[in-house]
Structure 1
C-alpha cells in the first residue's frame, strides 16, 4: 500500500513568520538574555565547548538568536547562525510526527502490533536474567506502535546499560550506518527485549523501528517520506540524513577528546551518505530549520497556513502516556516528567531541578542539541552544540537562563 506523498495544505490561520523582534516586546528581558549570552561565553572561554547557538522565540517571533564561539576546535571560523549540526535524537520527534501522519491517513493505529508491518517481531523473545544466566521467555503481548512511540517496547540501546542484552547489542551490527533500515529491523527482532512490552520505560532504538514501519507503509525510503510530508512543507531545506561537500565549511564539530574526562569523542561524518537512514538519530540540521519545526508544534500543527499534523493529534502526542506502573529506567527522563508519543512531557511544576511549565514538551540529541516547547508561555527554544559529555549540564543551564528572562 502507498501513503499519499502530498503534504496536507489545508489553510489554517496564518502563523507568524519567525521574524526577529525586540525581546522586551515579547515579554523577554534583554538584560537576562545578555546574561545568558555571557554565561555561554564563559563556558566557551573555559574550553567546555567550541561554540553554541541559542534561539529563543515567544509569541511567534524570535527574541534572541545568537551564534557564539567557534564552529570547530582548531579552527578560527566563528560559529554561524546556519552552521550544520548532528541532531541525533532530535530526529525522533520528526519521525514520530511522520508516524502520526500515517495514523491520520488511516494506514495504521496506535494499538496495531508491530508484527503487522515487520513480521519478524512475532518471534521476538524477552530476556530474563536469573543468577547471572540469561533465560528467554515468550512475549506476554505483542509490541504495539504506541509502545515504540513512548519507549515501552522492551527494545533498548547498547549505551544505556551494561546487562547481557546491552552487550548483545554492542556485539551486533545494529550501530552500522552501512546496513539498510530493513536489515536493522531484522537484527533488532532477533535480539531479546529487556522487559515485556509495556512493563517499563526504556530509551531505545524504537524510533529506528518506526522509521522502517514508515518505509513499509509508504513504499519509499524514510528520507523521501520525511522530505515530502514534513521537511519540504516546513521549508526545512537544510535537514537531511547527510549534507553535501559544498557545506563542508559549515559543519559544527566537537573536541576530539572530551574536555572534562579526556575520553575520545567520535561522531559520524555529516558529508557521508549513510545506507541506514536512522529514524532515531540520523538527521543533520540547522538551528533555524529546527526552529521552523518547533514553531509548527507550538502553533498546533501548522506553519504559515500549511497543516502538518492535526491539532488534536498533536495534543495526544504531547500528553503523558506512561501509566503509574510504568517507571522510567534511568536519568534520561527526569523527575516530574512523563513521556508522550515522541516527546518528554512535564507533568509537575516542581520536583525537577530546573524551571518550566506543566505541559511543556521537549527532546534532545546525544551530541549536545536540545529544544523545548512551552505552550503556557507561548515560547520555544532551540540550543545547538556538539559536545556529548556536556549535554546534560548545558540542557539545565540553558533552561535556567532562558526562564530567568521570561517576564
Structure 2
C-alpha cells in the first residue's frame, strides 16, 4: 500500500510512529509559550505513513481575549500559498498548456523592461527571476485596498535586481505573476482554479485563496473562525492588516491562503503519495519528483554556493544546510516545504514518509524561532 493511501488520526502518538514522551513534551512547551503570551495561539499535528496525530490546539482565538482557540479554527498561512499556486502551474504543465522555460511575456505581453524578456516560469518558481520581493509602493497599494490587477501593473513596471538565473532572491511578486498566468490560460481567477482543481478534489472544504463573500454571511459567518494574528507595528496604524476583510479576501497568490491543519494535512499526504490521495489525482509522480528536486543545479550562471546552500524546487523550499531559521536543524536532505510570515510552517520528508504542520498567530519573520524549535522537537520524536 502506498504510504499515504489514507490518513487515519490517532490519539496515541506511538501508533503514528512517535515517542509518546517526546510528543507530550512538545505540547508542554507550546502550552507554556501560550501561557506566557509568547504566542497567542498555535495548532499543529504530525503524520507518518498512513497515520496522523490528532490536531493539537492551544491558546486564544483572539489576541486580546480569553476565548480558547476554536476547534475548527482557520489560519491565514501567508507564504505557504506559494507552493500551492506552484502546484496549479504544474497541473497546467501536465495538460500541455505551458513549459517551465516559457517566457513570462508569452502569457503577459505587457511584462516589459530591461532584462524581463528572458524571465521564464522556471525563474518565477525558483526565486531566481530578479524581481523584487515586494513593490516599492507595496504599502501604498495595500493601504488603498488595491485589487490584484494594480499589483500586476506594478510588477510590469518594476526594475530587476539582477539578471535572471544569476542569483536567488526571495520574490513574492513572481508568484503574483504566476497567479495571473493561471488566469490568462484558464480564464478563471487563480482562486477559482485552485478550488476546482486542488481543494475540491482533495476535500479541503475549509480552504480558499482569499475568503469568498459567503464566508462573511449568515448568523455564524465562517470568517469568524479565522484566528486573529498578532499584528506587527507596521500594520497597527495602517489602513489594512492581516486580520481585516480586505486582506483576507484579496486572494494574494503569494500569501493569501486560508486553511486548517486538517485540510493542509490532506495536501501533505497527496505530495508524499506522489500526487495522489484517496480518490484525487492532483499531480503525476514524475511531476512531484521534479517539483521537489533542486532546480538551481541546472542554471549554468547560478553561483555554486547558491545551488549548494540555498536550493529551491518548483515553489518548494528544500533543506538548506547550515540554516536553522523556520525549518530547524534535523531535516533529512530530501525534506521540502514552506513557511509563512504569519507564523506557519509545512514540511514533508519522503525519506521516512512524515510531515509536520505548525500554524500559529505570532509572526515569525525573519528567523522563525518558535517554528524552528518546535520542528526540531517534532523531528526528534520520530522513532
Distance 1:176 1:400, change over 3 A: farther
Q: Report how far residue 13 of structure 1 moved.
A: 9.7
Distance 1:235 1:142, change over 3 A: same
Moved more, 75-84 or 216-225: 75-84
Of the three residues 92, 97, 102, the one matched with 2:87 is 97
1:129 corresponding residue in structure 2: none
Q: Report how far residue 306 of structure 1 moved.
A: 1.5
Aligned equivalents of 1:177, 1:171: Cα separation in 2: 10
2:176 corresponding residue in structure 1: 208
Q: Return the TM-score normalized by structure 1.
A: 0.82
Aligned residue for 1:71, secondary structure, equals coil
2:152 corresponding residue in structure 1: 185
Moved more, 245-254 or 200-209: 245-254
Q: Tell me if the contact between 2:130 and 2:167 (Cα under 8 Å) persists in the aligned partners.
A: yes
1:253 corresponding residue in structure 2: 228
Q: Does 1:393 align with 2:369?
A: yes
Q: Tell me if the contact between 2:101 and 2:122 (Cα under 8 Å) persists in the aligned partners.
A: yes
* 1:2-401 equivalences in 2 (<5 Å): 15-20=5-10, 22-121=12-111, 123-125=112-114, 138=115, 142-158=118-134, 168-170=136-138, 173=141, 177-181=145-149, 183-204=150-171, 205-240=173-208, 241-242=210-211, 244-245=215-216, 246-256=221-231, 267-269=241-243, 271-272=245-246, 276-323=250-297, 326=302, 336-346=309-319, 352=324, 354-389=329-364, 392-401=368-377
Distance 1:242 1:273, change over 3 A: farther
Q: Report how far residue 31 of structure 1 moved.
A: 0.6
Distance 1:235 1:278, change over 3 A: same
Q: Tell me if the contact between 2:47 and 2:355 (Cα under 8 Å) persists in the aligned partners.
A: yes
Aligned equivalents of 2:231, 2:81: Cα separation in 1: 24
Q: Report how far residue 212 of structure 1 moved.
A: 0.3
Q: Report how far residue 218 of structure 1 moved.
A: 0.2
Aligned equivalents of 2:226, 2:20: Cα separation in 1: 29
Aligned equivalents of 1:212, 1:117: Cα separation in 2: 9
Q: Tell me if the contact between 1:202 and 1:328 (Cα under 8 Å) persists in the aligned partners.
A: no
Aligned equivalents of 2:311, 2:57: Cα separation in 1: 32
Q: Report how far residue 14 of structure 1 moved.
A: 7.7
Distance 1:316 1:70, change over 3 A: same
Aligned equivalents of 2:380, 2:132: Cα separation in 1: 36
Paired positions, count: 367
Aligned equivalents of 2:245, 2:140: Cα separation in 1: 25
Aligned equivalents of 1:303, 1:344: Cα separation in 2: 22
Q: What stretches of structure 2 of length at least 5 have no aligned partner? A: none
Q: Tell me if the contact between 1:150 and 1:339 (Cα under 8 Å) persists in the aligned partners.
A: yes
Q: Report how far residue 18 of structure 1 moved.
A: 3.5
Q: Which runs of 4+ in 1 moved over 6 A?
A: 261-266
Q: Report how far residue 26 of structure 1 moved.
A: 2.7
1:131 corresponding residue in structure 2: none
Q: Tell me if the contact between 1:86 and 1:270 (Cα under 8 Å) persists in the aligned partners.
A: no
Q: Return the TM-score normalized by structure 2.
A: 0.87
Q: Report how far residue 263 of structure 1 moved.
A: 8.1
Q: Deviations over 1:8-47 (max 9, x none)?
A: xxxx998113432522123201110110011111111221
